Structure 1
C-alpha cells in the first residue's frame, strides 16, 4: 500500500519576491517529489500548494521556512487541505 499523500496550503511573507523564491520552491519540489504550485501574490506574499508523502511534505515545509539565500521569511501560515489532483509542480503567474 502506498503511503498516504497529504496537502498543505501555505502563505509566506517577508522578503520573498524578487529573490528567486518561486524557482527555489520548484527545485525543492523536484528533489522531494512534491506536486503542486507556487505563485507571487499582489500583496507581496508567496502562495504555495504542496502535495506528497507526509515525510517529504514536512521536509519541504522546512525548506520553505528557510527560503533561498537572499530571502527573509517573516511569517509562515500553513493549513492542511484535502489533496487535489496535481500531476506536477509549476510556477503560476
Structure 2
C-alpha cells in the first residue's frame, strides 16, 4: 500500500546540500515525489511509497547531510498523487 507525506523541514537546511541529499536518498529508497526550498528558509518535500520506507526516510531526514541541523520535521498525511520519480523543484 502506497502512502504519502508532505514534510516541512526546519532548521539549518538551506545551503547545505539538503535538497540534493533528499533526492539521492529518496531515489535510493525507491520513493517518488519532490523537494524544494521555501522562501522562509525551510525545506518542503513530498514523499510517496510504502509506510515502512516513508517512515525510514523521515528518520533519515532528521539528520540529513553532514552540514545540516534539522530542528523539526512536520509531517502531514496526504493522498498519494502517483508521481513516477523524485525531483528537485524551484524555490517556492
TM-score category of the 2 structures, normalised to the smaller one: over 0.9
Q: Which residue of structure 2 aligns with residue 15 of structure 1? A: 12
TM-score (structure 2 length as normaliser): 0.96
Alpha-carbon deviation of 1:52?
0.4
Structure 1, unaligned runs of 5 or more: none
Which structure would you say has the larger Rg? Answer: 1
Distance in 1 (CA, whole Å) between partners of 2:46 and 2:37 is 12
Misfit runs of 4+, over 2 Å: none
C-alpha separation in 2, matches of 1:87 and 1:26? 13
Structure 2's unaligned 5+ residue stretches are: none
| Alpha-carbon distance, 1:46 to partner | 0.2
How do 1:17-56 and structure 2 match up within 5 A? Answer: 17-56=14-53
Among candidates 75, 85, 88, match of residue 88 of structure 1:
85
Aligned position for 1:68: 65
Give the CA RMSD over aligned residues.
Answer: 0.5
Q: Deviations over 1:33-80 (max 9, x none)?
A: 000000000000000000001111111011111111000001210011
CA distance in 2, matches of 1:34, 1:62: 14
Q: Distance in 2 between matches of 1:54 and 1:75?
A: 20
